[in-house]
Amino acid sequence: MTQSKTFFKTPYLKLDNYELQKEIVKIIPEEFARAYKIIAVDLFKGVKDILTIATSKPKNETVHKILESKTGYTIREFETEESLIVNAINEMYTN
């Protein structure tokens, strides 16, 4: 599913090979996703609920805090290209 760029960097997600689900994507409001170039890619429900996001600008603590506060989920992030995020947002938030 993922490949790390380097040991200390945010893991990389090849978003164009990932099958997104609208019900997960839409956990994040469209305006927020577009403003911060992020998209929800997975949701793990367990002892600790984890929302996985893809972003082109990782380690943005403000975004993490807002998402954790609004969703109630712990945030896990992967880095990907901004153009892939924009394409996914355009595709997933239509209709």
pLDDT (tens digit, 9 = 90+) per residue, 5-19? 444 578 888 898 889
* Residue bearing the bigger pLDDT, 58 or 53: 53
Averaged pLDDT for residues 30-40: 96
Number of domains in the chain: 1
pLDDT of residue 18: 87
Buried (b) or exposed (e) across 23-35, using 16+ Cβ within 10 A? ebbeebeeeebbe
**Amino acid identity at 83:** S
Residue 25: CATH number of its domain: 3.30.300.160
Kindly tell me if the per-residue pLDDT of 4 is higher than 70: no
Range of the domain at 74: 2-92
Mean of per-residue pLDDT scores for the chain? 89
